[in-house]
Amino acid sequence: MSTKALIQAISYYLPRYQLDNAIIEAQFPEWSIDKISEKTGIDNRHIAASGETSGDMAVKAAEKLFEEHSIDRSTIDYLIVCTQSPDHFLPTTACIVQEKLGLKTSVGAFDMNLGCSGFVYGLGLAKGLVVSGQAKNVLLITSETYSKFIHPMDKSNRTIFGDAAAATLISSEHGFAEIGDFEYGTEGKGAENLIVKNGALRSPITEKEAVIDEYGNYNSDNHLYMNGTEIFLFTLESVPKLISRTVTKNNLNKDNIDLFILHQANRFMLQSLQKKCKIPNSKFYIKMDHCGNTVSSTIPIALYHAQNEKRIEKNKTILLAGFGVGYSWAGTILKTF
């Protein structure tokens, strides 16, 4: 009998400090509360403290997972940490998280550097470990502090992104949903449209002053830059194809899908995708108003809330699709039971 890979449980952590729309409006009066909410679908974001790292948040998310779902940490035999804001260049954040969580020293542990597609890619890696017999219980943690990359006067990116960490347990033995087959994609020519250019080895940090774009956003090569127009065009071009190919890869058709949970980028982008893919409201899930775009954690956070809201019931088929920085995209199917 072949081994299955199952999602057993999900929990997540949000930092204490909150950046709501009223605070943004106070700093940028032309950017009203109603305008922000209508365009982005985001009312609030949580921002990591100055000394709080992705590794710290990863530990807190995992501790919540263990407590909320009564999980014995000694059963974890593999750890994957997905982050683009690691604690150090080296060692890997996963090694630090292993020690802080008190996981056994026989676990495998590594980091993966992916953004908005990271959770689905992580599920693919976790499934490979489980199905091949290398692990029985894989702890996948997505943790990101994009706020530390954003210029304080960049109103567009500050409006969209929030910090968060999510912990997901993938198991060969227990779970509420089986992980299906995967569809992946990469197009590196779009790398410069969502980038923190300086800070690593190719382009060190510089002292250049920030420039102001046509929309009044401050930015420099030391901070997060996003070409919103190009990202939007990429998304509308790639994601409908990703959804179609993911459905086909799993020997299904689109009518078989009970719920679509896409990367929660912003409301305008999601509604544009929903319209282009002709997905009815009853099958399309949006949940980001309380935390913003949390990069690799948006899908697990949405899954967590969809479960609590009874949107995910037994014998349902769920499509997950992540897409963004890289360009990178990935999709898979969950079948609940």
Reply yes or no on whether 88 is catalytic.
Answer: no
Backbone φ and ψ of 135, nearest 5°:
-150, 155
Per DSSP, 14 falls in state -
Whether the Cβ atoms of residue 165 and residue 142 lie closer than 8 Å to each other:
yes
User: What is the CB-side half-sphere exposure of residue 126 using CA atoms within 13 A?
Assistant: 35
Taken in order 268, 300, 93, 324, the sign of the CA dihedral is: negative
- Indicate the SS3 state at residue 184: strand
Reply yes or no on whether 250 is catalytic.
Answer: no
Q: Count the Cβ atoms, other than its own, within 10 Å of residue 161.
A: 27
Whether the Cβ atoms of residue 220 and residue 151 lie closer than 8 Å to each other:
yes
Q: What b-and-e string marks burial along 128-150, b requiring 16 or more CB atoms within 10 Å of the CB?
A: ebbeeeebbbbbbbbbbbbbbbb
Identify the residue whose tokens are 């992540």: 322
Q: Count the Cβ atoms, other than its own, within 10 Å of residue 44.
A: 17
Backbone φ and ψ of 86, nearest 5°:
-70, 160
Per DSSP, 301 falls in state H
Backbone φ and ψ of 24, nearest 5°:
-65, -40
Catalytic residue among 217, 263, 291, 305: 263
DSSP characters over 191-252: GGGEEE-SSSSSS----PPPEE-TTS-EE-TTSEEE-HHHHHHHHHHHHHHHHHHHHHHTT-
Catalytic residue among 137, 217, 250, 293: 293
Reply yes or no on whether 116 is catalytic.
Answer: yes
Catalytic residue among 82, 95, 116, 291: 116
Active site (catalytic) residues: 116, 263, 293
